[in-house]
A and B are shown apart, each in its own frame.
Chain A
């Protein structure tokens, strides 16, 4: 579904994403894990073709994210981090706008369908500014689903939510993945989140991919007694130690 090849992004000499290569299979929930400033958002921005890679390439369902960017964008749904939507407009008006922009046929019917699926239908005519953060995030996911995308890119969809809100978004993602076999690419710095819903993960640090594998394999490789948290810190630690070693020589 998603093939990334030596993807790199430089900002004035600073490399935010460094030579990234990996694949995500169809129907997977892929957790892209990294600390603040690791390069998660920069990576997603290149994949949804908001910004251009400095070098390297990426393909979604066989289409290049730069050359075939219109086609690629018609196949994906995207929820950036900290999105507020148009607070002066109602949920329906927001969705109508984004649905029409995506060229969804019979938008009104489709909005009702999605809102029912997301259990937000009774809030249809409420202005978005009156929503809680969790509800706004649901409408944010709704706008990404309107045109029936094959792959969803979500940038920290549970940041700022309480445990209940986090769980409900998690359940929603599992539901979407189950029902339409939608591939989900999920940015997060929460290990617990990855553990609960992802089928495979990638770990990024300082713009570089530390490792990528299925959740099962990772658990196997590192022994079942280790939690994902430990794995994460061990890999990072190894790297830091490595650097230290080099430094001490």
Chain B
């Protein structure tokens, strides 16, 4: 068996025996379920309200009845995006920190590196194991989401919906992977694990809250509930025209938001889950193409930081 697989397996086993990690994971799963239940209740009450008003209109003798509002089963898991953005990132940060700090504290880096293996086998195993774990977590949450949506919501997901969900969980994996690698890299650089944890949490706060907050406050479309442009009855082409008039302002706003992986993740997710209107008729692939900049915003830092971690790992004498 290759050394890399041995190390990857140990990483996963060790994390699954780690109580702190497990409690965050369970919290994330519970929140997933809660968000689906709450979302479902909301949809049900919307339907009930619609039915009541139809009854009322009928009793008034009206024949010209409003159509059933189109309900999007996926938007039920909308608040889940925020949970991943917060708790998912935290989970990944803990994993990245542990991957380095525990080996340091336990002296096990020395036990591993005094065996006849190469350093890159060690970092490959660490990256592989933890990324696989994050992928498994996303898979588990996806399964829970689909099961609860179908069981509770009573909605049957179309194939297109399912593909959108899968794309969404792929994006959420990329997002968590990024925070894992940020945390791993910072912990490698800093000698004390608590400094490292604090530093990464500050980075996370800036990315996940402060930058998006700045962006949101400046977003014209956010000035009215349901979207400024939609409530003005404008379509996307018209929206573009107007936004073009405020080019500098928009560029600045975008620039700030583009610095935030959380915003990238949100933009992809909201498009995929149909929270943000305007993507209803696109396939998941088309959305991925339209949102390529946001995808790159998640992928590119992942790759750059992995390479930097490699460099530090291979060059540092004392890990």
Contacts and interface: CB of A to CB of B under 8 A. Distances in A.
22 contacts: A49-B114, A70-B118, A71-B116, A73-B116, A74-B115, A78-B110, A78-B111, A82-B107, A83-B107, A84-B105, A85-B108, A86-B106, A88-B14, A88-B18, A89-B10, A89-B13, A89-B17, A97-B10, A98-B115, A100-B6, A101-B115, A103-B116
Contacts of A86: 10, 14, 102, 106, 108
A100 B13 CA distance: 15
A205 interface: no
Interface in A51-83: 51-52, 70-71, 73-74, 76, 78, 80-83
Contact of A83 (B7, B102, B108): B108
A101 B14 contact: no
Kindly name the residue among A84, A97, A143 whose own CB sees the greatest number of chain B CB atoms within 10 A. Answer: A97
B15 to A, nearest CB: 9
Nearest to A51: B317
Contacts of B231: none
Interface in A87-107: 87-89, 93, 97-98, 100-103
Contact of B1 (A49, A83, A100, A143): A100
A48 interface: yes
B9 to A, nearest CB: 8
Nearest to B19: A88
Interface string A7-44: 00000000000000000000000000000000000000
A82 B118 CA distance: 24
Interface in B27-60: none
A235 interface: no
A138 to B, nearest CB: 15
Interface in B79-135: 102, 105-108, 110-118
A211 interface: no
B318 interface: yes
B116 A98 contact: no
Nearest to B317: A51
Nearest to A128: B106
A101 B7 contact: yes
A83 B106 contact: yes
B286 interface: no
Interface string A111-129: 0000000000000000000
Contacts of A82: 107
Contacts of A83: 106-108, 110-111
Nearest to B117: A101
Contacts of B7: 101
Nearest to B6: A100
A93 B12 CA distance: 13
Contacts of A71: 116
5 nearest A-B pairs in the assembled complex, by CB-CB distance: A88-B17, A83-B107, A74-B116, A84-B106, A78-B114
Nearest to B112: A101
A192 to B, nearest CB: 25
A83 B105 CA distance: 8
